Structure 1
Amino acid sequence: MSSEKTTLSTDDKKLVKELFLNSFFLENCYNYERQQGLGFALAMWPAIKRFWHTKEERAAALTRHMAIFNTTPHVVGAISGVAAALEREASENPEFDTSIINNVKVGLMGPFAGIGDSFFQGTLRIIASGIGISLCQQGSPLGPILFLLIFNIPHIIIRYFLTMVGYKSGTSLVEGARGGAILQKLSKGATIVGLMVIGGMSASMVALSTPLAMTIGETTFEMQSYLDQIFPSLLSLLYVFLMYGCLKKGMKATGILLMTIAIALVGAFFGFLA
């Protein structure tokens, strides 16, 4: 739905400004368990404080946004804007499924990360660095100043614009979905996209293989090559299931991380894992 059809009130514009400013906390306390989860929860606080009124409701919303999250910081405003609009709908509609919020976040963070990294890290930063380094080599103090200006002026403008567009788009979406079955379809679609993103992250970030091989006569059979022919990345998938099972049984993420390190060290030492 077109975000231009949604006109924001003065109060909404104030909220967008607060979301924009709080988005700079995104990478506060970045960690391997939840990555930017804590920073995103802090970035969402203006919306949570505005739309939820009891201590229990605010705690539930903060907990919801503490889930694992990771995207390019410069474009996070688009996602926090949509999430804020969904939080408002959740506070006004008792039948709203709050799981939609995190599913939409997960579905958006991957595509926006790809776009943000390509533009800001792969293009704008290189251009700004080239100009700044060239001036620094000439002994000009303008080098670092221009680097910061060339990179951050477009960054700040785009960051605010995306926050505005994200909130407008989320508002248009929930307004169009009221009174119909669209919310159910949205929930199902967001769940599917979220699971696809998590599956893709698991496949690309969990790498586990074995160098075990058997020699029969003059022929060497490498176990990993046969596993890849039957089911590529099978060991990685099994380890993801193992970690999921540990989480379901109440094991802390820190414990799973230490267990992973221990398995890696033991496997490398005895030569059955690579």
Structure 2
Amino acid sequence: MSSQKKVTKRELRQVFWRSFALQGAFNYERMQNLGYAYAMIPVIKKLYEKHDDQVKALNRHLEIFNTTPAVSTTIMGISAAMEEQNANDSNFDSNSINAVKASLMGPLAGIGDSLFWGTFRIIAAGIGVSLATQGNIFGPILFLILYNIPHLFVRIAGLKMGYRVGVNSLERIQKEGLMEKIMSMTTTVGLLVVGGMVATMLNITTPLEFDMNGAKVVVQDIFDQILPNALPLLGTFIVYGLMKRKVSITKLTLGIIVAGIFLHWIGLL
């Protein structure tokens, strides 16, 4: 009886470092498939001795794949566990490896996008920009530190957890509805952060003032009494409305610059 083939910590470390190249060969046909296959090569070489078996395994991981890079290692860990099972069990259905990948990449991308693009990046950028605008060189450094601490933690912990629990976690996560709960919480936190940034970092005021019966009326003071930061909030809603109408970011950026210059020139802002 042949000994059981086992993925070691050495292969998992190689998968971790290779995962950073996930989007290095991004393509519009199969997205991140080349980067994923590249990350799985150490596992495939460890588990399969025959060249034909290695080719089949590589071809499996050349199917379309796309998810948030930070959470990709969780799926890679699960794939490593399933490849290990496939190498040791002749009755294992190798098609299930890609089926699990396909079923996980969408939900995990939703969580990853909410956490990293919609929450951690915005919080880290807000803190970093606030320091940078004061001339503090530590601003961009702090941005990288604040963003990459949770990023690297999720990459490392996700790979270990994915390999350790294999496919068993998928059923539990789906039954308990954990993905929906996490996405809801991260979306709420992200919206709160964006709201706070609008109030503290977006500075839009008007210098308009006029005389009424001999008294000077400052329009900005009226706005502040009715609703503090009303103009930044209005500007945010205008930009949001244009984005919902599918106006491109390039046009929005140029439009904001032109509108800002024009409104300042005529004395409204």
> TM-score range, shorter-chain basis?
0.5 to 0.7
The residue that corresponds to 1:153 in the other structure is 149
Deviation at 1:12, TM superposition (A): 2.7
How far apart, CA to CA, are the structure 2 residues paired with 1:22 and 1:31? 18
Query: Normalization by structure 1: what TM-score?
Result: 0.58
Cα distance in 1 for residues equivalent to 2:112 and 2:98: 20
Alignment-derived partner of residue 51 in structure 1: 47
Match of 1:143 among 134, 139, 144: 139
Q: Which amino acid in structure 2 is aligned with residue 68 of structure 1? A: I
Give the superposed CA RMSD.
2.0
Give the whole-Å Cα distance in 1 for the aligned partners of 2:120 and 2:68. Answer: 14
For 1:104-183, what aligned pairs fall within 5 Å after superposition? Answer: 104-170=100-166
Identical residues among aligned pairs (%): 47
Question: Is contact 2:22–2:39 with CA below 8 Å preserved after alignment?
Answer: yes
- Change in CA separation of 1:159 and 1:56 when aligned onto 2, cut-off 3 Å: same
Give ranges in structure 2 of 5+ residues lacking alignment. 1-5, 172-269
Mapped partners of 1:107, 1:75: distance in 2? 14
Between the aligned partners of 2:41 and 2:7, the Cα distance in structure 1 is: 16
Runs of 4+ in structure 1 displaced over 6 angstroms? none
Q: Which amino acid aligns with 2:97?
A: I
Say how many residue pairs are matched.
Answer: 166
- The CA deviation at 1:16 is 2.3
Structure 1: 5+ residue stretches without partners: 1-9, 174-185, 187-274
Find the counterpart in structure 2 of residue 73 from structure 1: 69
1: distance between equivalents of 2:9 and 2:167? Answer: 13
- Correspondences of 1:232-251 after superposition (within 5 Å): none
Which structure has more relative contact order (CA 8 Å, sep 6+)? It is 1
Contact kept? 1:17, 1:160, Cα under 8 Å:
no
User: Which range moves more in the overlay, 124-133 or 20-29?
Assistant: 20-29
Match of 1:88 among 68, 71, 84: 84
Which residue of structure 2 lines up, in the alignment, with residue 12 of structure 1? 8
